[in-house]
Amino acid sequence: MLLETLTRPLEHAPGLYQLRALGAKVTALVDHQGVVLVDTGWRGSLPLIARGLEHIGASIDRVRLIVITHHHPDHTGDLPAVVRATRAPLAAHRAEAPFITGALPLPNPVRWPALSWPVRPLLPLLYGPPVPVDYPLDDGAALPFRPDVRAVHTPGHTPGSLSLYIQSTGSLIVGDALQYRFGWLRPPAAVISWDRRRALLSIRKLASLDFDTIWFSHFPPLKRNARSTLRSLIARTTPHPAL
């Protein structure tokens, strides 16, 4: 009973579920043709993802695309296992693809030197082996198999951080481009973000879209007044002189 409760997906909108995984939520976009998975959680998340899909009447073999919002190990740690289990192609933003494929070395996600050195020896255990990216996405591109879902390049947390915009349902899936802690919307955590100035620019870019709800990887969704709340964040965030 406890295991069933812990693995039960959260349905937030028709065809949009968040599956419980290790380290981060995995979003499932479901239609009559199959499932698009967004992120994969830490290593060891595959059984939780499979169980979550079963809860919503799907299965791991119905996954037809995997999308990665960014390369951090709480989002890609179990990517190799999920790719093997689903045989689904992989999509990520073009700027993020080299980190996932191994063309570029994976940087330490912790940016502050005092905290980054204890993490460094653990990185080989946290990240999985390289995986080919079948669909390098550009800003504004429609997702393969889901032309109603658009890729939005939101660099800042990482160089190729990707958000997804579903105009038909007014939904915005932001990965870690935003935080929603204790009822407050915030920029991504500075300690694990690549470039704060670009993160603030990306937040302004998101505010130009027409949406009602925001879905996060680590926090409950913001279901009311999401766009106005995002604009309030912009107003209270001290802009960089170049913004």
Q: CA-CA distances (angstroms) from residue 62 to 48, 65, 93, 150, 230?
A: 16, 9, 23, 21, 35
Residue 116: its pLDDT value, please?
78
Sign of CA dihedral 11, 16, 22, 24: negative
What's the rounded Cα separation, in Å, for the pair 149 and 171?
10
Residue 242: its pLDDT value, please?
45
3-state secondary structure of 155: coil
DSSP 26: E
Average pLDDT rounded to a whole number, residues 194-219: 95
Instruction: Could you please state the CATH topology (level 3) that the domain comprising 2-108+125-236 is classified under.
Output: Metallo-beta-lactamase; Chain A (3.60.15)
Whether the pLDDT of residue 210 is over 70: the answer is: yes
The structural domains of the chain, with segments of one domain joined by +, span: 2-108+125-236
Whether the pLDDT of residue 6 is over 70: the answer is: no
What's the rounded Cα separation, in Å, for the pair 116 and 53?
35
Query: What are all long-range contacts of 137-146, with beta carbons under 8 Å and residues at least 24 apart?
Result: 137/91, 137/92, 137/93, 137/94, 137/162, 138/93, 138/94, 139/93, 143/36, 143/65, 143/67, 143/91, 144/65, 144/89, 144/91, 145/33, 145/34, 145/36, 145/64, 145/65, 146/29, 146/31, 146/36, 146/65
Going by C-alpha positions, the residue among 20, 16, 15 that lies closest to residue 3 is 20
| Residues 141, 184 contacting (CB under 8 angstroms) | no
| Per-residue model confidence as pLDDT tens digits over 12-69 | 678 999 999 999 999 999 999 999 999 999 999 999 999 999 999 999 999 999 999 9
What's the rounded Cα separation, in Å, for the pair 62 and 88?
9
Residue 241: its pLDDT value, please?
44
| Per-residue model confidence as pLDDT tens digits over 223-241 | 989 999 999 999 988 554 4
DSSP 219: S
Q: What pTM, to 2 d.p., does this model score?
A: 0.92
Output the average pLDDT for the chain. 91
What's the rounded Cα separation, in Å, for the pair 201 and 213?
20
What's the rounded Cα separation, in Å, for the pair 57 and 66?
18
| Residues 46, 79 contacting (CB under 8 angstroms) | no
